[in-house]
A = this chain, B = another copy of it.
């Protein structure tokens, strides 16, 4: 199955001249395909074919690829085109470390900046997450889990922090998704989340920072131990 077969049945064209520039719209579409795992890591992205599939020319598509390249979602090698980025375990761990550091720092800022309402919303999301666990709905659990982390960062009101957190999260989305799906450490994850929210409410900055920095890596190291069961890269020529 080629990269294009996966995307063939997407919107045939996107000629809607809405506000956002076309390259960014194209980038968003490809991003989506990557996140949904329809474009799998290591899979080559063929310009002509994908451009035709999306109903755009090669020019905006190439610009979209440049965007995704800087974002770290695709690897652009000089004369060999673009392949969906397949972070090595080492790189995954580095990204998770950075993610943890950013969230930890955001936590300390959020201790001062978070509003009552936002705090309540986080608690509410936490309960929804618990509900999803009860139902064994791993996808919903994952979504709420992400929402909580995102919520903490957004509570800082630091737009730059939010943007970079989002970007790094994108690069890890697939990994984290797989991890969250396979890992059985729900109980400890829940405990950590509760500790995070408590520390946030109490304004205990060192504590929330420590927990958040460790929390993200925990699931990864769990996976490493399991033997990183993951779909192999390099799908096909």
Contact = CB atoms under 8 A, between A and B. Distances in A.
Contact of A161 (B23, B62, B98): B98
Nearest to A22: B78
B94 A161 contact: yes
Contacts of A66: 23, 63, 66-67, 70
Q: Secondary structure at chain A's binding surface: helix, strand, loop or mixed? A: helix
Interface string A54-98: 000001001100110111000010100000000000010011011
A92 to B, nearest CB: 9
A160 B91 contact: yes
So how many copies of this chain end up in the complex?
2
A187 B168 CA distance: 37
Interface of A: 19-21, 23, 59, 62-63, 66-67, 69-71, 76, 78, 91, 94-95, 97-98, 101-102, 104-105, 109, 158-161, 164, 168, 213
What are the 6 A-B residue pairs with the smallest beta carbon separation, nearest first? A101-B105, A70-B70, A94-B160, A66-B66, A63-B66, A94-B158
A153 to B, nearest CB: 11
A237 to B, nearest CB: 22
